[in-house]
């Protein structure tokens, strides 16, 4: 095949329709076992609590719950409920959706943030989103608090917290 015969552009919709092609939509479905740690953490969320694991060797209070301390290489020593408040460690202001489509100018921006939770060890944060806040006013170090869904709507998911808002 001579290279100059290859059209150096994308196909138009019309050309695409006519092109010889094969398509395949994979059907990939999973149901991951929670096991011990994730199970406890999700149950905590359903009850409106953020649970953290303690390691008596390194003294860390770690989020989310884990059944072993990955640094000390030993089982953790139980869970405690930490606060549902924290400090913004870092954040991004997103102008595109999950599927890469652009948000319309009047749609609120998504603000995913790492939130260091009060009562857990330094650097122990969770990922969530900020809400009820002007994106221009969000700052690293800002104090935020969880806004929970009503009890009846909670299912044991990180979505049981709607978002974190400044307080």
Residues that bind other proteins (CB under 8 A): 22, 24, 26-38, 66-68, 70-71, 73
CB of 153 to other proteins, least distance (A): 26
Quick one: tokens of 74?
């030993």
CB of 157 to other proteins, least distance (A): 16
- Identify which of residues 38 and 54 has a Cβ nearer to other proteins in the complex: 38
Query: Three-state DSSP class for 147?
Result: strand
DSSP labels, 86-117: EEEEEE--B-B-TTSPBPPTTSPPB-EEEEEE
Quick one: tokens of 23?
């398509």
Closest CA to 74 of 89, 53, 94: 53
CB of 27 to other proteins, least distance (A): 5
DSSP 8-state code for residue 106: T
Instruction: Say how many residues make up the chain.
Output: 167
- Identify which of residues 34 and 157 has a Cβ nearer to other proteins in the complex: 34
First CA to last CA across the chain, in angstroms?
A: 66
CB of 37 to other proteins, least distance (A): 7
CB of 65 to other proteins, least distance (A): 11
- Identify which of residues 156 and 166 has a Cβ nearer to other proteins in the complex: 156
Quick one: tokens of 67?
């059944």
């Amino acid at each position: 095949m001579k290279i100059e015969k290859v059209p150096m552009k994308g196909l138009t919709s019309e050309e695409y329709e006519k092109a010889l092609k094969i398509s395949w939509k994979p059907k990939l479905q999973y149901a991951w076992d929670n096991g011990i740690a994730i199970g406890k953490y999700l149950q905590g969320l359903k009850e409106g609590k953020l649970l953290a694991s303690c390691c008596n060797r390194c003294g860390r209070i770690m989020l989310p719950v884990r059944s072993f301390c990955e640094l000390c290489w030993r089982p953790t020593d139980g869970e405690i409920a930490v606060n549902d408040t924290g400090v913004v460690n870092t954040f991004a202001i997103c102008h595109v959706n999950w599927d890469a489509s652009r948000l319309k100018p009047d749609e609120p921006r998504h603000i995913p943030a790492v939130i260091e939770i009060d009562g857990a060890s330094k650097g122990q944060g969770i990922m969530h989103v900020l809400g009820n806040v002007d994106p221009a006013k969000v700052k690293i170090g800002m104090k935020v608090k969880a806004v929970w869904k009503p009890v009846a709507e909670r299912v044991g998911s990180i979505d049981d917290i709607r978002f974190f808002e400044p307080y």
